[in-house]
Amino acid sequence: MQKDHLIRLKTWFDTYTRSFLTGETLSDSPLVLKIEHTARVCDNICHLGRSIDLTGGRMRIAEAVGLFHDVGRFVQYHRYRTFNDRESVNHASLGINVLNEAAVLDTLPGDEKDMIADAIRFHNAPALPENKPPGSMVFMRLIRDADKLDIWKVFADCYRHHQRLEPAIVQHLPDLPTWNDNILNAITDKRIARFQDMKSLNDFKLLQLSWVFDLYFPETIIQAKKRGHLAAIARTLPDDRAVRHAVAGVMDQLEEMGITDPK
């Protein structure tokens, strides 16, 4: 990707996302959070990209993936007033439609367009497809890691500063003193939990902790440990033996992954 291409994509993203803002703090707040999330995910993906010696055009592709990974969130919220994909539509697919309708990626070479679209399409999928070329896989892996690092930050910062979590960001889940055993079992089995098992805010916290089983790049693991967001989220969970056991499994995984090669 050429430098001027990336500049044009950034300009389009700014204009497009700002077109959803109304000036009303209450209704704009979830969208502003997504704009800020996008900026930090771009920083994260560039940081992870540098850690694997990505340079030049390929680094710019990675940044474009960061820029567009949640582009579907804006029309999703505008139409459905939720970020819950199960109660609306898959925001990754919606993002691809948005980019196609606006022909945003049409001036890029075909292979670059495909790599960006693949990375967006699978950034929130339970698992990655196995039939994609290695050139595409790196961007799919980068965005999944970069996105997780920032989602942990958003939640951990709210808990650290005792701030109210934006209802749309917690997908309107009730803050109940309960949790779903399916999610705890996923953690015990060292796999990522399923969105459809979330019934309460605790389930969302546990689901986020389960994402450590899906991290790929060594630098993501280094950052996850250094930033301390997982521990901050874990501290807000109920003081229960089964929950403590699951959290310990997550922290052990982080330690183990930090001293072994990625899967």
The residues of the shown chain that bind Fe ion, judged by CB under 5 A, are 70, 124
CB of residue 181 to Fe ion, shortest distance in Å: 27
CB of residue 72 to Fe ion, shortest distance in Å: 8
Nearer to Fe ion, 70 or 112 (CB): 70
CB of residue 93 to Fe ion, shortest distance in Å: 11
Nearer to Fe ion, 7 or 125 (CB): 125
Nearer to Fe ion, 65 or 247 (CB): 65
DSSP the chain: --HHHHHHHHHHHHHHHHTT--S-HHHHHHHHHHHHHHHHHHHHHHHHHHHTT--HHHHHHHHHHHHHTTTHHHHHHHHHS---GGGS--HHHHHHHHHHHTTTTTTS-HHHHHHHHHHHHTTTSSS--SSS-HHHHHHHHHHHHHHHHHHHHHHHHHHHTTPPPPTTTTTT----S---HHHHHHHHTTSPPPGGG--SHHHHHHHHHHGGGG---HHHHHHHHHH-HHHHHHTTS---HHHHHHHHHHHHHHHHHHHS---
Position of minimal CB gap to Fe ion: 70
Nearer to Fe ion, 70 or 219 (CB): 70
CB of residue 125 to Fe ion, shortest distance in Å: 11
